[in-house]
């Protein structure tokens, strides 16, 4: 990866740029989850973020980085969910139109979120090809700028700010608990779909907490990142998982960063994801979506790796279609 | 009511006494819920409290107020849920036994909570008579001290500390937002079952925010507090509601306080409770139990009363049996 593309300053500037428009989300802990996992967990709650997910960060940073004459023509993207809402919200805040291509199978709660921010939805078949074709048509017609959900350096720099905040918070908190300064978590773990959050998290660790090992959690039913790290090239994603935010394949901008900086991808089965999600709902009393529970499921799966360690977990989002919750728990 | 029984100092001392053993829970806000309700809402999140409910406060205060020789023989109570866990937890912290009488129909999550704190469970039929008889036997056999879930002044003083914290937080927050000092919420609203939380909340308002009007939310299917305020005497509760924490009848210690200090009880139907609960889950991304959603349901039901006002809401607890969640939402 060409380090000059996203430097420490890039992330610091992104953070400064988006701060007025995002929440500094809380970091939660739970004695009972620590007991169950056998390590010390710090949950960065991006489910409390604007639009209910970390995606608000990257979308806002990319939109704010556009030239005024370009921005005026509007924003466009294809997304199955949270990024769609994030772009629609950015459009609303910046006073420009947003055009969102969504698979017709996307959860209703996410479509309603887009409409609530005044975004215009273009439905398409749930394939990457259909999404890209439809988006190309929309961009051609409107002159709007495409903001890719993850394969975009401004988006990656925006997502990096979640981990940056977690490191800042842990630095303060652990210092005061242990009476010293500059203590860093042993691990940070994020979910991986297209790799925007994971590559941002990895860059944040590199610049702000270099002793922290970066790990990823990925659904076994869409384990392209796991296979890509093994093979050394981008492998295609499957879509056999309930973690519907993590169905995408890595991009040519995210993969090189992940290849360089991420030590391990731990894959977890859907029943492990649901069990982890249930524990988070029950013990932390917060709503997280299935994709969001994947890193915690990974920690529970490989307890030996994390035993006795201090682990930061990025909880990515909380947009669940509650009408479908009954099928998760029994 | 005899004011000398719970004074301002009683609540302040209770707060000081329990502080090391409870969370100072966060106060959440949501622009979208404010839009929906037409007022400014501040949610005091006792669902994040120890044992997942405000009950940790009263149980801890009452237990800490016992003489050491009395305490040594243990703690006892009957409770359908959160108070049971709170007493078991107090016993564990103080190193004494706890004996908990629970209706056999109590949610499994709450029984497991009691066991997790080392409490000994005595199951009985789900009637008040059976609960009281069984508890009397347990107390006779063990010499443990009964700590009633609500009809106990130390318990009431403990529950009062939730509203006290909310007033403190709002005072700071509103002052900084509006650039002035000493601003008080127009309303504070709590759920009412046996009346421990409501009477404590009312006393906290009387001493710490006297201009704030105290309101209660109650399930229509167990509207004894509503009827008691009308008739001027304690009326019996029914039990036709999903709000299973609010099935109890007011006590002779809680009713006089409520009669003096609570202006109105707003009753809400089960479908209104579920709709309010769903909004809290979806927008605040937090788990609250049905009983806990009752005050917000009341605000949504009587929008005129609260229009444009600043309203503090006590969110009482978050212990939901997730295996039964499917029936709530569709």
B200-256, pLDDT tens digit by residue?
A: 999 999 999 999 999 999 999 999 999 999 999 999 998 889 998 898 899 999 999
Instruction: For residue B1, tell me if it sits in a domain.
Output: no
**Residue at A3 is within a domain:** no
* DSSP annotation of B121: E
Task: Read off the pLDDT of each residue in A34-41 and give the average, rounded to a whole number.
Answer: 97
Same domain, B60 and B46: no
- Give B129's contacts (C-beta < 8 A, 6+ positions apart): none
| CA nearest neighbour of A156 among A95, A112, A204 | A204
Which of A281, A282, A325 lies at the smallest CB-CB distance from B329?
Answer: A325
Catalytic option among B65, B79, B80, B291: B80
- Rounded Cα distance between B19 and B12, Å, is 11
Out of B55, B111, B206, B259, pick the active-site residue.
B55
The residue in chain A having the minimum alpha-carbon distance to the alpha carbon of residue B52 is A285
- Per the domain annotation, does A315 fall within a domain? yes
Query: What integer pLDDT is reported at residue B328 of this predicted model?
Result: 84
pLDDT of residue A244: 86
Q: Looking at the structure, tell me whether residues A141 and A192 fall in a common domain.
A: no
Q: Does A281 touch chain B (CB under 8 A)?
A: yes
Strand B75-78, strand B98-103: pairing: parallel
Is A1 among the domain residues? no
A177-219 pLDDT per residue, tens = 656 665 689 999 999 999 999 999 999 999 999 999 999 999 9
Stretch B308-312: mean pLDDT: 97
Task: Give, for A266, the enclosing helix (H) or strand (E).
Answer: strand A264-268
* Same domain for B115 and B134: yes
d(CA A195, CA A180): 34
Whether A140 and A283 map to the same domain: the answer is: no
Count CB-CB contacts under 10 A for residue B164: 22
In this structure, the answer to whether residues A48 and A60 fall within a common structural domain is: no
SS3 of residue A23 by DSSP: coil
Of the residues B113, B117, B285, B327, the best mutation for testing chain A's interface (the one with the most A CB atoms within 10 Å of its CB) is: B285
Asked if residue B130 and residue B239 are part of one domain, the reply reads: no
Is pLDDT above 70 for B34? yes
Which CATH number is A13's domain given? 3.40.50.1100
Looking at residue A183, what is its pLDDT? 64
Non-local CB neighbours of A141 within 8 Å, separated by 6+ positions: none
Answer with the one of B120, B146, B172 that is the final residue of a domain.
B146
Domain span at residue A79 reads: 56-146
How many domains does chain A divide into? 2
In a domain, residue B157? The reply is yes
Same domain, residue pair B258 and B197: yes
Asked if A258 and A227 touch (Cβ cutoff 8 Å), the reply is no
B328 DSSP 8-state letter: T
Which positions ≥6 away from A176 have C-beta within 8 Å? none
B240-279 pLDDT, tens per residue? 899 988 988 999 999 999 999 999 999 999 999 999 999 9
Given an 8 Å threshold on Cβ–Cβ distance, is B329 in contact with A323?
Answer: yes
- Of B96, B130, B146, the residue at which a domain comes to its end is B146
SS3 of residue A98 by DSSP? strand
In A161-196, which positions are buried (b, 16+ CB within 10 angstroms) versus exposed (e)?
bbbbbbbebbbeebeeeeeeeebbbbbbbbbbbbbb
Q: Does A109 touch chain B (CB under 8 A)?
A: yes
* Shared-domain flag, residues A235 and A86: no
**Mean pLDDT on B317-327:** 87
Nearest to B286 among A285, A325, A329 (CB): A285
Average pLDDT over residues B35-52: 96
More confident residue, A315 or A1: A315
Asked whether residue B123 falls in the same domain as residue B19, the answer is no
Residues on chain B touching A52 (C-beta within 8 angstroms)? 285
Residue tagged 């739970």 (tokens): A30
Q: Would you call A227 exposed, middle or buried from its count of C-beta atoms within 10 A (0-12, 13-18, 19+)?
A: middle
Which two three-digit tokens encode residue A112? 């309603």
pLDDT band at A323 (very low <50, low <70, confident <90, very high): confident
Question: Could you tell me if residue A115 is inside a domain?
Answer: yes
Q: Which of B89, B118, B146 is the last residue of a domain?
A: B146
Cα–Cα distance measured from residue B209 to residue B322, given in angstroms and rounded to the nearest whole number: 37
pLDDT reported for residue B241 = 93
Residues B115 and B212 in one domain: no
Give the pair of three-digit tokens for residue A229. 């790290």
Query: How far is residue B271's CA from residue B330's CA, in Å, rounded to a whole number?
Result: 12
Tell whether A318 is within 8 A of chain B (Cβ): yes
Q: Which residues make beta-bridge pairs with A27? A: A44
Chain B hits for A318, CB-CB cut-off 8 Å, are 285
Residue B145 has pLDDT above 60, yes or no: yes
One domain for residues A205 and A249:
yes
- Computed from CA positions of residues B172, B174, B175, B179, in that sequence, does the dihedral angle turn out positive or negative? positive
Q: Quick: pLDDT tens for B87-108.
A: 999 999 999 999 999 989 887 8
Rg (CA), chain B: 19
How close A48 comes to chain B (CA, Å)?
Answer: 7
Q: What pLDDT shows up at residue A175? A: 61
Q: Is the pLDDT of residue A23 over 60?
A: yes
Q: Is the pLDDT of residue A94 over 60?
A: yes
Contact A44, A312 (CB under 8 A): yes
B239 labelled catalytic: no
Question: CB of B269 within 8 A of CB of B276?
Answer: no
pLDDT for the residue A174? 61
User: Could you tell me if A31 lies within 8 Å of chain B, comparing CB atoms?
Assistant: no
B194 and B94 in a common domain: no
CB atoms A109 and B26 under 8 Å: no
Distance, in angstroms, between B321 CA and closest chain A CA?
A: 8
- Band (A263; pLDDT cuts 50, 70, 90): very high
B285 and A CB contact within 8 Å? yes
On whether residue B233 sits in a domain, the answer given is yes
pLDDT for residue B182 = 55
Q: How far is B156 from chain A (nearest CA, A)?
A: 25
- Structural domain includes residue A2: no
């Amino acid at each position: 990866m060409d380090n000059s593309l996203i430097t420490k300053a890039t992330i610091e500037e992104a953070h400064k740029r988006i701060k007025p428009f995002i929440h500094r989300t809380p970091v939660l802990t739970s004695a009972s989850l620590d007991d169950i996992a056998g390590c010390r967990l710090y949950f960065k709650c991006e489910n409390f973020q604007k639009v209910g997910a970390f995606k608000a960060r990257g979308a806002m940073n990319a939109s704010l980085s556009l030239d005024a004459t370009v921005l005026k023509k509007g924003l466009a993207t294809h997304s199955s969910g949270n990024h769609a809402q994030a772009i629609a919200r950015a459009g609303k805040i910046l006073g420009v139109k947003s055009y969102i291509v969504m698979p017709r199978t996307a959860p209703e709660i996410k479509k309603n979120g887009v409409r609530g921010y005044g975004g215009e939805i273009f439905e398409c078949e749930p394939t990457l090809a259909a999404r890209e074709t439809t988006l190309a048509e929309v961009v051609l017609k409107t002159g709007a700028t495409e903001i890719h959900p993850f394969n975009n350096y401004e988006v990656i720099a925006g997502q990096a700010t979640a981990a940056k905040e977690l490191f800042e918070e842990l630095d303060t908190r652990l210092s005061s608990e242990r009476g010293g300064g500059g203590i860093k978590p042993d691990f940070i773990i994020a979910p991986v779909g297209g790799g925007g959050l994971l590559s941002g998290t990895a860059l944040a660790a590199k610049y702000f907490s270099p002793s922290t090992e970066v790990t990823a959690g990925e659904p076994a039913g869409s384990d392209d990142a796991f296979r890509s790290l093994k093979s050394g090239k981008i492998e295609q994603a499957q879509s056999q998982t309930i973690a519907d935010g993590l169905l995408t394949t890595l991009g040519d901008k995210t993969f090189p960063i992940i290849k360089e900086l991420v030590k391990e991808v731990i894959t977890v089965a859907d029943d492990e994801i649901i069990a982890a999600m249930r524990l988070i709902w029950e013990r932390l009393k917060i709503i997280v979506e299935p994709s969001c529970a994947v890193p915690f499921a990974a920690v529970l799966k490989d307890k030996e790796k994390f035993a006795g360690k201090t682990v930061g977990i990025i909880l990515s989002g909380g947009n669940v279609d509650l009408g479908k919750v009954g099928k998760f728990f029994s």
